[in-house]
Amino acid sequence: MNAHLEQLSPRPLWRHFRTLCNTPRPSGHEATLVAILEGWADGLGLAHDRDAFGNLRIRKAATSGFESAPGVILQGHLDMVAQANADHPHDFTQDPIETRIGDDGWLHARHTTLGADNGLGVAAALALLEDETLVHGPLEALFTLEEESSMGGALNLAEGWLEGRLLLNLDSEDRGQVYIGCAGGADVIVEAQLPRSPLVQEEQALRLSLTGLSGGHSGIDIHKGRGNANRLLVRALRALEPFGARLVDYRGGTLRNALPREAFATLALPDDQRATAQERVAALEDELRAELAGVDEGLILTLTPLDTRPVEALTEQASQLLVRALHVAPCGVERMSIAVLGVVETSNNLGVVSLEEGRFHLCALVRSLHDTAAAELADRFRALFELIGARTRVENAYPGWTPNPDSPLLARFCRLHRERLGNDPEVKVIHAGLECGILGGKYPQLDMISFGPLIRGAHSPDERVELDSVAEFWDLLRALVEDLARG
């Protein structure tokens, strides 16, 4: 599948990306891909090993005469975000990603995430390792696991294992930009067992659905004003409180680091309130569409009867407390940075919310350029949800990457960018969780930058990559590695 990828330029890079598309690799399911890459390395006579967590390192000795050049680490993560449109069945543990080349000069997937994040960075590193015409010092390619789900690979990376002093993170998504800092973050998990009571004869079951949102990356896209399906469906639930609605179940979002595009709830509603409630939902749909005009145009909000009748729903008090807590929970941009203009400092994504048989679960992702601010926002969740008797814990916390504008590696990259492209790159700090912050904590001697091709719609089925930017990214990467070897 995806044979058309090998007709694109640069061919070695796209050949490796085809392998990545054809090999299922959602977070936690990278083992098959690791085995393929180890076999590929054996075929080229390249040394490879894994640390205790399973992160893969492939090494290539320096070009003869360049053994004393500083060691360069090419770094990316093997996993991808698994998101598909609701009407498109796709098993990310079994099915390959089907790609298409658009007339717009971009590569797309069919109804799923593409995996350009971070597949193109991985493919570029593999293409460099097999390039026999490249002049280079000692090379290490570090491929981490479970970045999208938990930063697990970086958090558990072996210390004292890597040898290089310069690290090129290939996980950025903007053409003409180079990143020197990123936000840290943490997962906030909220759980509770809430009381239920039987439906009475006068109650009927209805389905409240919110679909059609764009979604996107919960860091990079958090400031763009797009709808969050969990936030908006809870708003609808709040509007239905006066009609006596009780929650039966809830399902919204699938990943804590993707803006939720869809959310669904089953309600128990007094039969004599149904018509009025449906009128209120229709009016609210118009209100939400007006608020999201020009940003997120596809919202659909419906309230429809169900053929099946559930046995129980949350008690009226429990339902109201849960809806109200979710209604006031932090969501979206909390604060913009004063130090780095135009960059989000602190944010939160209400990523995954569920309710089943009274068991409530929420997973939010808080991010900040200041680790203390992320911790404070997580504590606000704890304080809020303790009011309804829920348990809160913080998991997978990872530090931010403190910018170093005086980095010699950065200066070298900027010079090459000017020479090859005729302009200076934008030096940026990103409101997303690059692994650099974690890697820098384990290897403080590293000088690091992050750059990549132009990717849009990451973490959603709208993910796409501009083909011309991939060729530009490849040329810059190859030139940088040679320049670093020559000193």
In a 3-state reduction of DSSP, which class is residue 280? Answer: helix
- Name the amino acid, one letter, at 106: W
Q: Nearest Cα to 480, choosing from 116, 78, 41, 74?
A: 74
3-state secondary structure of 344: strand
Which entry of 30, 51, 79, 221 is annotated as an active-site residue?
79
Measuring CA to CA, which residue among 140, 126, 170 is closest to residue 34?
Answer: 126
Angstrom CA distances, 79 to 32, 93, 151, 158, 377, stand at: 11, 11, 10, 19, 28
Give the phi and the psi of residue 82 in degrees, each rounded to 5: -105, 95
Q: Which residues contact 364 (CB under 8 A, 6 or more apart)?
A: 187, 188, 190, 256, 329, 330, 348, 349, 350, 351, 381
Burial class of residue 293 (count of CB atoms within 10 Å of its CB; 0-12, 13-18, 19+)? exposed
CA gap 399, 374 in Å, rounded? 10
Q: To 5 degrees, how large is the angle CA 389–CA 394–CA 398?
A: 165
Beta strand residue intervals within 327-440, DSSP E: 332-336, 344-356, 359-368, 391-398, 426-430
**By three-state DSSP, how is residue 473 classified?**
helix
Tokens of 75: 């770094």
Going by C-beta distance under 8 Å and a sequence separation of 6 or more, which residues neighbour residue 131?
12, 478
CA-based radius of gyration for the chain: 24
Does residue 79 carry a catalytic annotation?
yes
Centre a 10 Å sphere on the Cβ of residue 39 and count the other Cβ atoms it contains.
10
Active-site entry in 30, 51, 117, 147: 147
Q: Is 147 a residue of the active site?
A: yes
Which DSSP helix (H) or strand (E) runs through 319? helix 316-328
Tell me the Ramachandran region of residue 341: left when phi exceeds 0, alpha when psi lies from -120 to 50, beta otherwise: beta
Q: Considering Cα of 340, then 343, then 347, then 352, what sign does the dihedral take?
A: negative
Q: Give 162's DSSP letter.
A: -
Q: Which spans in 164-315 are helix H?
A: 229-240, 274-291
The residue whose two tokens read 């814990």 is: 393
What amino acid positions are annotated as catalytic residues?
79, 147
